[in-house]
Amino acid sequence: MKRLRTILIFLFVLIVGFVAVTRWLPAMLKEPKVTRLPPGVKPEGASVSEEDLPIPVRTFKAARIEFTDLLPTLGTVRGKTEVELKFEVSGTLQAINFREGDLVKEGQELASLDDQEVRLKMGYAESKQATAEAQLKLARKRLSVNEELFRIGAIIRPKLEESQIEVEQAETQVETAVKETGLAEHELGRTTLEAPMEGVIGTRQVEPGEYVTPQNAIATLMDVNSVYVELGIIERDIERIRLGQRVKVSVDSLPNTSFEGKVDNLAPIIEGKSRTLTAKVKVENAQGQLLPGMFARAEIAVFEKPDALVVPTSALKDTDGDGKFEAVFVAAPGDKAALKPITVGYLTTDYAEVSQGLDEGDQVITEARGNLKDGSALTFLEQEEAAFERAEPAIKGPEPER
């Protein structure tokens, strides 16, 4: 009985399944209905594609400003004139009359050598001069007597001429003695070292008691009324440096003070080890705040234009792929993007000066969150005003979700 019941249930399930398959299978196999619409017509209830949505952008309002491109570099302060102080003769250093950092006047005695030997030579030359002068005086007196004797006929002419020759010889001896005395006096003067100009004394390199020669520098004298700042310019920036360019200089010891100078000299060669070109910047230093040897930071104004139309470099486009920027996108009336051809006059890392193709007040697109094309609809996230100050634009609608 139980087995018969199981068989009946199985048959019932089989019959129900067969009926369901034969009834609903044909409807499931039928093709869906397709309605063809004209081109450009969207079906009812269809969502808007991403290409039709406004592209969020950031813009920069082009304006004419005073534009300066600065090249930062490092250097060292040097005296306008730096003179190594050396004696002209050899000898033992007897005295040093200065301290490092002293401000000295022109002609001031700075150091002296032991002059005992030179003074002996000076005394010997003076005594020879005195002897020669005495001999000249005696010869002139003898000539005067012989001239009187010759006048009265007491001596013959050759005797008179002999006296005249003695006077001439004595005069020559005096001239020689005077020159020897002057030479000794000059040698005595060379044992004293005097300041050739007004300036500041640098590091002292010798001490009293040392034997020095004309090759030994005693110290360095530097003119600091105006100084030079020597800057090292790397090879890639050499073409940007010109004589007369304005330079702003600062030193670590005076953090709130800056000095103005100009490029006054460019070295004709590149240093072998550093591969840099030395540019000398002349800076007035009337108060003596800049000292030789100071580490200096400088900014060279490599480009200056008082009425330049400037845009960020992020707005520039290379439309033909030749590596040169020749266009920008601007926000046109109706909040549409428009591609404008331009000519770049000067290019820096952050900003570019546009010489042609752009008008003052144009809203140049610097950033777009989407594939920007000519005629694309725009929505504005931020507007950057001239003089590099940022201002939020007026809200025109809800900002798209990010």
Read off the pLDDT band of 38 (50, 70, 90): very low
User: Of 262, 231, 233, nearest to 248 (Cα)?
Assistant: 262
The whole-number pLDDT of residue 41 equals: 44
Do the Cβ atoms of 357 and 339 come closer than 8 Å? no
pTM: 0.59
Mean pLDDT of the 156-175 span: 90
d(CA 204, CA 160): 65
d(CA 126, CA 115): 16
Read off the pLDDT band of 398 (50, 70, 90): very low
Dump pLDDT digits (tens) for 188-208. 888 999 999 888 888 889 999
Tokens of 320: 């033909």
Judged against a pLDDT cut of 60, whether residue 182 lies above it is answered with: yes
The whole-number pLDDT of residue 392 equals: 39
Mean pLDDT of the 346-359 span: 88
Read off the pLDDT band of 360 (50, 70, 90): confident
Q: Mean pLDDT highest for which of 14-18, 132-136, 198-202, 385-389?
A: 132-136
Dump pLDDT digits (tens) for 124-142. 999 999 999 999 999 999 8
The whole-number pLDDT of residue 160 equals: 86
Mean pLDDT of the 26-37 span: 45
Mean pLDDT of the 17-23 span: 57
E-state strands within 3-140: 55-61, 63-85, 91-96, 103-104, 109-113
The whole-number pLDDT of residue 235 equals: 87
The 10 Å Cβ neighbour count of residue 342 is 23
Dump pLDDT digits (tens) for 282-337. 999 888 888 888 899 999 999 988 888 988 888 898 888 888 898 999 988 888 88
Is the CATH number 2.40.420.20 carried by domain 55-67+307-391? yes
The whole-number pLDDT of residue 273 equals: 75
Three-state DSSP at 82 gives strand
Pairing of strands 336-341, 363-368: unpaired
Q: Residues 6 or more apart from 93 whose CB is under 8 A from it?
A: 111, 112, 113, 114, 206, 207, 208, 209, 210, 211, 212, 218
Local structure of residue 386 (DSSP, 8 states): G
Read off the pLDDT band of 8 (50, 70, 90): low
User: Of 183, 226, 188, nearest to 79 (Cα)?
Assistant: 226
Span between the terminal Cα atoms of the chain, in Å:
72
Tally the residues of the chain. Answer: 402
Judged against a pLDDT cut of 50, whether residue 40 lies above it is answered with: no
Mean pLDDT of the chain: 82
The whole-number pLDDT of residue 285 equals: 87
Dump pLDDT digits (tens) for 209-255. 999 999 999 999 988 888 999 999 998 888 889 999 999 999 998 88
Dump pLDDT digits (tens) for 54-110. 889 899 988 888 888 899 999 999 888 888 999 998 999 999 998 888 888 989 999
The whole-number pLDDT of residue 9 equals: 67
Mean pLDDT of the 142-166 span: 87
Mean pLDDT of the 36-52 span: 48
